[in-house]
Structure 1
Amino acid sequence: MGELLGVAVLGAGHMGTDHIRRLDRVISGARVAAVADPDRGRAEEAAAGLAGVSVHTDPVAALDAPGVAAVLIASPGPAHEEALLAAFARRLPVLCEKPMAPDSTGALRVVEAEVALGRRLAQIGFMRRYDGEYRRLKALLDGGRLGRPLMLHCTHRNVSSPGHFTSAMLIDSSVSHEIDAARWLLGQELTAVTVLRPTPSADAPEGLLDPQFVLLETAAGALVDVEVFVNCGFGYQVRCEAVCERGSARIGDEHTMVVTTRDGAREEVAQDHLVRFADAYDREVQTWVDATRRGEVTGPSAWDGYAASVVAEAGVRSLRTGARVAVGLAGRPDLYARVSR
């Protein structure tokens, strides 16, 4: 396989720092070659103790740094399109955290740029496809033992939302994971979105419409409902139940430590996505590194990133109007005809 894959990590915030740790301490076959963040001090702190790492405030400079052969984009969403296009121009394979771009217009530009290259370079970070429970559910549904899937019931809860979180971000940041998971689990495109708004929780920040109830329709007539509640106060919970013609299957029930004392039993509840999906992130990045070293690109594609963006935008319109909003996708290019693994 040759020498270690040199990776430029763009973004040294919460997610980027965790990926730097992962590449350095968990993943085999790769090393961090460069780190970029507009806050140089933050980039230097994230890269501290790593040998042979260059630090940059300009992400493009990081792409051109010595030893860089691949890119991991963990910067805020508005910076993704420019970074992806710069990586494409250098023929660098990319793992890009979602959202691929902040809107569907930008996402389509990314798709068109990759199609113009005539080959895939981008994998989009929908890490639930790498979670053990989600993978078992996917295999069960694909095997057909339960018959045709009729409905998915999904739950997405966070302890609290960041101060900058908006009502629209419950859809395009949080529910975007369920959007991709539903497309992947069912093997169907989503065709319409309806968002219902219950009375906001008293614990939600002023003006934030939290929780929300999202209803997704698929091309083959299945329904997907998502309860998204980002200020539930008690833990990070992600669950999914598939209801099929001949049975159902549920994932996401906590299988964590139970501590028993004379005061009773207490079950631990994950407090954030980096805890709940730690194994999925590890498997995602390891799979990306292995494929990149083989000269391959697997996993969620730029088309998957575009489709999720279009559905999320329809959801935001429904949130604002209360109406059912149809989803309109561009024609799917031949480059993405093969199902993403």
Structure 2
Amino acid sequence: MGDLLGVAVLGAGHMGADHIRRLDRVVNGARVAAVADPDTDRAKEAAAGLDGVTVHAEATAALDAPGVEAVLIASPGPAHEEALLAAFARGLPVLCEKPMVPDSAGALRVVEAEARLGRRLAQIGFMRRYDAEYLRLKSLLDSGRLGRPLMLHCTHRNVSSPPYFTSAMLIDSSVSHEIDAARWLLGQELTAVTVVGPRPSANAPEGLADPQFVLFETDGGALVDVEIFVNCGFGYQVRCEAVCEAGSARIGEDGAMLVTERGGAGVEVPQDYLVRFADAYDREVQSWVDATRGGRVTGPGVWDGYAASVVAEAGVRARESGGRVSVELAPRPRLSADAGR
């Protein structure tokens, strides 16, 4: 165990439990040293069968547990700021699931705290940057082969939304992935957002504005539109098409197994993001472990987390007002300049 990176996992829910499994069974060079969750029974269940793991109700107790050298934050978004600052205070490298911090003021405090350290410690979990299809699209756009990007058309559909989901969360939780993916794919900042929507689907819970249509403008003159539909009922689908001056490219066309049997044929449709992006999560965490063991921090940084929070807040205001809302980012600290798009 001494040669393995000891990781404290904060949060043992759906995402946290999957990361615990991933660190134990998939990723090389790391082990789970501690798990923290207010529901200690859930934490114990997630850590069952793992040697040398301590279970805690408080995040800070897990950070101070024996053998902890790094932190993976998979707790609910409102708990992230405190956990990130606590990790920074201990000099612990962090992989933090999105949203880094749900509100932009808190996200900026995290950016400023890391800048005061004078070095990067945090990677933010925008896993689409590690998905094979997104990486191919990024490489193609960067090559210039298709010319200047003009538009990104994005689709983001879930089978159903959790009972606590609000209309704002369609943007600040779900569309936050498209916000980061657009910034990364295009190498541009998002400067304004408009949100409209049809009459809510009959499948949407009472009071939930679902689906919604989100339109972003960029500082490079491109447009990005996102259909977010979190109660489509039939599957989990994420698609993106880049339309450029000399061609287009589309990813996410459900390249799954085709099953043919008596009476018909059908393509399997993923029902969950952990299925659709399993390989991306594996590559993301492996990359983080490898970099951390080498004393480095790579991937999307705290500035990317901050930018996503600012754009998402503007999107929520646009939905509520029915108008176009400009995005205003704070000055970017020098430390974050190498961490972004």
TM-score by length of 2: 0.99
Instruction: Using the TM superposition, give the Cα deviation of residue 102 of structure 1 relative to its aligned residue in structure 2, in angstroms.
Output: 1.7
Q: Does structure 2 conserve the Cα–Cα contact (< 8 Å) formed by 1:71 and 1:95?
A: yes
* Counterpart amino acid of residue 6 in structure 1: G
**Separation (CA, whole Å) in 2 of partners of 1:61 and 1:338:** 32
What stretches of structure 2 of length at least 5 have no aligned partner?
A: none
Q: How does 1:3-152 map to 2 (within 5 A)?
A: 3-152=3-152
* Counterpart amino acid of residue 135 in structure 1: L
Instruction: Using the TM superposition, give the Cα deviation of residue 339 of structure 1 relative to its aligned residue in structure 2, in angstroms.
Output: 4.8
- 1:315 aligns with 315
* Counterpart amino acid of residue 236 in structure 1: Y
Instruction: Using the TM superposition, give the Cα deviation of residue 79 of structure 1 relative to its aligned residue in structure 2, in angstroms.
Output: 0.4
**Separation (CA, whole Å) in 2 of partners of 1:262 and 1:97:** 44
Deviations 1:160-202 (A, max 9, x none): 0000000000000000000000000000000000000210001
User: For 1:163, what is the secondary structure of its paired residue?
Assistant: coil
> Does residue 228 of structure 2 align to residue 228 of structure 1?
yes
Q: Does structure 1 conserve the Cα–Cα contact (< 8 Å) formed by 2:301 and 2:339?
A: no
- 1:253 aligns with 253
**Separation (CA, whole Å) in 2 of partners of 1:340 and 1:312:** 17
**Separation (CA, whole Å) in 2 of partners of 1:184 and 1:231:** 27
User: For 2:260, what is the secondary structure of its paired residue?
Assistant: strand
* Counterpart amino acid of residue 12 in structure 2: A
**Separation (CA, whole Å) in 2 of partners of 1:200 and 1:312:** 21
Q: CA RMSD in A?
A: 0.8
Q: How does 1:317-332 map to 2 (within 5 A)?
A: 317-332=317-332
User: For 1:92, what is the secondary structure of its paired residue?
Assistant: coil
Distance change in 2, residues 1:234/1:75 (3 Å): same
User: For 1:193, what is the secondary structure of its paired residue?
Assistant: strand
- 2:282 aligns with 282
- 2:202 aligns with 202
Q: Does structure 1 conserve the Cα–Cα contact (< 8 Å) formed by 2:191 and 2:327?
A: yes
User: For 1:337, what is the secondary structure of its paired residue?
Assistant: helix
What stretches of structure 1 of length at least 5 have no aligned partner?
A: none
Deviations 1:104-156 (A, max 9, x none): 00000000000000000000000000000000000000000000000000000
- 2:180 aligns with 180
User: For 2:80, what is the secondary structure of its paired residue?
Assistant: helix
**Separation (CA, whole Å) in 2 of partners of 1:102 and 1:151:** 27
Q: Does structure 2 conserve the Cα–Cα contact (< 8 Å) formed by 1:9 and 1:16?
A: yes
Q: Does structure 2 conserve the Cα–Cα contact (< 8 Å) formed by 1:298 and 1:340?
A: no
* Counterpart amino acid of residue 131 in structure 1: D
Deviations 1:62-91 (A, max 9, x none): 000000000000000010000000000000
